[in-house]
Amino acid sequence: NAGVMQNPRHLVRRRGQEARLRCSPMKGHSHVYWYRQLPEEGLKFMVYLQKENIIDESGMPKERFSAEFPKEGPSILRIQQVVRGDSAAYFCASSWDRGNEQYFGPGTRLTVT
Amino acid sequence: AQSVSQHNHHVILSEAASLELGCNYSYGGTVNLFWYVQYPGQHLQLLLKYFSGDPLVKGIKGFEAEFIKSKFSFNLRKPSVQWSDTAEYFCAVAAPNNAGNMLTFGGGTRLMVKP
């Protein structure tokens, strides 16, 4: 049973470009969470999605960031017009139901040059 | 809002020493509690969890944690560490009654075990 998959594992973008991060949840999981880990900090919640719905985006920056989890395909975290401060590790997690434990993917390390 | 604090940012131990990592949270309602571990170059893995019942929970690899509700604490323990326990450890809290069910993480504790 494959775990949570994220790609790419490493992404380098120049300032002003767009970054697209993908997350495929574990088989049978319909709840997806995105977290960000800035250098020397713990993980911070960004957004919680179920299929086709954003349930909680209280941790998302108000501008340039968006997330989706379509009926078919992976969840996508999109960052438009990236800035150096967006450099971080972005982790996706999934769970079978809202109250269950979350399983994490390997993360995508975004570097903005 | 929930918050989680881990008091020790860096811990260095020799093999066979006992380990206790502190975790305190602030939230007045019912919580689910977790410890995750991140080995070098790997993703977060669940060590153990507490939802309800016996406040002393056993996890993988000989780890255990005790939930003390009156102290808002969920400290992680291991009687005898091994070199392979070198990793970063994260305490996390979820409030299951919130629609978001997001995890709130502590800042992490980097454990180095010297052989």
Could you tell me the maximum CA-CA distance found in chain B, to the nearest angstrom? 45
Q: Residue A74 and residue A47: Cα distance in Å, rounded?
A: 15
Quickly tell me which residue has 């349930």 as its tokens.
A55
Residue of B42, B96, B105 lying closest to A43 (CB–CB) = B105
Reported as a single tens digit per residue, the pLDDT across B59-102 is 999 999 999 999 999 999 999 999 999 999 999 998 866 666 78
Query: Which residues contact residue B6 at a Cβ distance below 8 angstroms, ignoring those fewer than 6 apart?
Result: B21, B22, B23, B89, B90, B91, B106, B107, B108, B109
Question: Which of A102, A103, A108 would you mutate first to test chain B, the one with the most B CBs within 10 A?
Answer: A102
**pLDDT, position B11:** 97
What's the confidence (pLDDT) of residue B99? 60
Neighbouring-strand partners of residue B57: B65
Q: Output A13 or A38, whichever has higher pLDDT.
A: A13
Q: Tell me if chain A has a CB within 8 Å of the CB of B8.
A: no
Q: In angstroms, what CA-CA distances link A52 with A34, A60, A69?
A: 15, 17, 5
Task: Please report the number of interchain residue pairs, chain A to chain B, with beta-carbon separation below 8 angstroms.
Answer: 58
Q: What is the mean pLDDT of chain B?
A: 92
What is the model's pLDDT at position A5? Answer: 96
| % of residues, chain A, pLDDT over 70 | 99
Per residue in A28-82, pLDDT (tens digit) is 899 999 999 988 778 999 999 998 899 999 999 999 999 999 989 999 999 999 9
How much is the pLDDT for A1? 52
Mean residue pLDDT of chain A comes to 93
Q: How many CA atoms lie within 13 A of A46 on its CB side?
A: 28
